[in-house]
Amino acid sequence: MVQPTSADEREGLNTVRVVVQRLSRTAVQAGYTALVSFGVVRDWLEQELADDSFGSGFLSGRVTVAALKPMRSVPFKMIAVAGLDDVAFPRRDRRPAFDLLSCEARDGDRHLRDDDQQLFLDLLMAAESRLVLTYSGNDPRDNAARAPSIVIDELLDHLDRRTNGHARTNLVLRHPLQAFSDRYVSTDDPRLITFSPLAGKASGTATVEGFPFFVDTVPDLVSDDVAEIALRHLTEFWSNPSQWFCEQLLRLRLPDARATESPDSELHWLSTMKQGGVRADMLRSVMTGHGDMEWMQREMVAIGKLPPGALGVSWFTRLADEARPIIDALPEGVRTSAALTVHGRNWRITGVAEGVIESTRYVVRTGSVSARHRIVAWVEHVVMCAAKQQGAEVPGTTVLTYPDSKKEKAIVESMIEVPNATDVLDGWISAMHDARRAPLKFFPNAAEAYRAAMVHNARIALNPKSRAKEQFPITKAAAAFAGNDYGAPGDESDPYLQLCFRDTLAFDASEAEFVRLTTMLFEASWSPRMVAEAGL
């Protein structure tokens, strides 16, 4: 009568069949042959189907969340139980007045309190390394003390007898009523910590004096000879000087929070990050002159970036359609790369600029343009301009192309030639030299917000009839530094900045140094000539 059409429907139908078979066995075991009304059967079925013992995911992952039920006390390295309040556990038998079972107890009658106490004993035996028991120790309305479950009291009494009364002092940890309590940042009890950054700010974590990352500058080991600098290292430096300092100078690399282990199951769905990676690979192939889409699709399936079979074809077609407006916005012509070499007073920069079509270099994105993307494009553009001014046959214009928010059309921004580009690079290399001794207080997201506000104000200055209002660059930068809960995280949540500056990471205290470095990097981008001719 019922034909399931999906895996979820098949699982649900199997659950119903198991419950119906259990009802049949129960009737046989009871030896009851009289007719039973449908209402009784329906109530019994609803009660059984409401039980979460048929839920999926039990013991299927690294963390199992389940109700405390018999036969679930399987050994685990760590077990945590929440809600062991006095009024909640163990459960009480509350029978209605007309229930005759409450009049006279007999052997074999079920007793919820005894059942829960047995469950708790099973739970203690199942915990191998660590056991965490929690209860509401204070009333959320008036902070009055609340009693724990009787099983916790009995357990602590037993441990007190075994430890001469030290168990409660060492094992019981009372948390404050509010998550932003200043007790979480005090040193009275090191066990009191909070994992919430927002609660940490509210509790005054920033006011607590901590140990600095280092107390002196790092010795400068760079010789006075001409420094060979790869273009890639220069872009990495300005993308995040603190990360560059840790990775290049200290050889310290923090774990990437976005990195995930290789999946054990077959790939069927692409995350947003993986979709962006596939689109980027498509554009990279087009920009290098290898635009054979059929070959590209087979390659991505073979290396595991796309699911196999028809599903992979569907994903590839969808992502190719999303990248199509950007690809169509590129002009016809041979895609080449330009070798770059720039000489300074005591340095030399070498690298390659990809995406050159005739007399213009194209930097193409298939997704949103982050602060890092703009910084990399700008640094490469200035280096290319310096190479051209020193006689190299390379473009002097860079075009940044990326899709709008709806991915329906392409947005095109141009960067014209920067005058005296070698002098600009001198300042950058000098800052890079300073960063070898101590990390710089340069915040990429805040710097991009500052640049955008300066460009906005430059447009208004060029067009007095504009009705747009001027922006305060430092206010925009401070907001980008802090971030928000709805967009990309701010600079203050960057792990390398947090490590290098520890408890001194504050925008107000770093404002002057930040403005100096941001102006050094981006000043040419908001000049009236650049804004008027480039359309930034």
pLDDT digits (tens, 9 = 90+) for 63-79: 777 777 665 567 888 88
Alpha carbon 320 to chain centroid, angstroms: 26
DSSP code for 355: E
Question: From residue 321, how far is each of 314, 315, 362, 372, 407 by CA, in Å?
Answer: 11, 10, 20, 26, 10
pLDDT at 362: 84
The answer, yes or no, to whether residue 461 has pLDDT greater than 60, is: yes
The answer, yes or no, to whether residue 339 has pLDDT greater than 70, is: yes
pTM of the model: 0.60
Q: Which of 67, 70, 71 is nearest to 81 (CA)?
A: 67
pLDDT at 427: 92
The answer, yes or no, to whether residue 84 has pLDDT greater than 80, is: yes
CA–CA distance, 300 with 318 (Å, rounded to integer):
14
pLDDT at 207: 44
Domain boundaries, the chain: 1-28+36-56, 227-257+438-534, 272-421
pLDDT at 378: 92
Mean pLDDT of the chain: 79
When pLDDT is averaged across residues 31-56 and rounded to a whole number, the result is 75
The answer, yes or no, to whether residue 200 has pLDDT greater than 50, is: yes
**Residue 84 contacts residue 151 (beta carbons within 8 Å):** yes
HSE of 409 in the Cβ direction (CA atoms, 13 Å)? 2
Which 3 state secondary structure label does DSSP give 300?
helix
When pLDDT is averaged across residues 126-130 and rounded to a whole number, the result is 85
Helices (H), 288-412: 293-302, 309-329, 371-389
The answer, yes or no, to whether residue 53 has pLDDT greater than 60, is: no
Question: Which phi and psi angles does 400 have, rounded to 5°?
Answer: -100, 120
pLDDT at 208: 43
Alpha carbon 5 to chain centroid, angstroms: 36
Q: At a CB cut-off of 8 Å and minimum separation 6, what does 314 contact?
A: none
- Asked which of 191-205, 290-304, 444-458, 507-521 is least confident by mean pLDDT, the reply is 191-205
CA–CA distance, 249 with 437 (Å, rounded to integer):
9
**Residue 206 contacts residue 503 (beta carbons within 8 Å):** yes
Confidence grade of residue 148 (pLDDT, cut at 50, 70, 90): confident
Question: Which phi and psi angles does 425 have, rounded to 5°?
Answer: -65, -30
When pLDDT is averaged across residues 89-110 and rounded to a whole number, the result is 73
Query: What six digits make up the tokens of 402?
Result: 């990326």
When pLDDT is averaged across residues 176-182 and rounded to a whole number, the result is 74
The answer, yes or no, to whether residue 424 has pLDDT greater than 80, is: yes
Q: Which of 214, 246, 206, 212 is nearest to 508 (CA)?
A: 206
Query: What six digits make up the tokens of 189?
Result: 């009890």
pLDDT at 321: 75
pLDDT at 380: 93
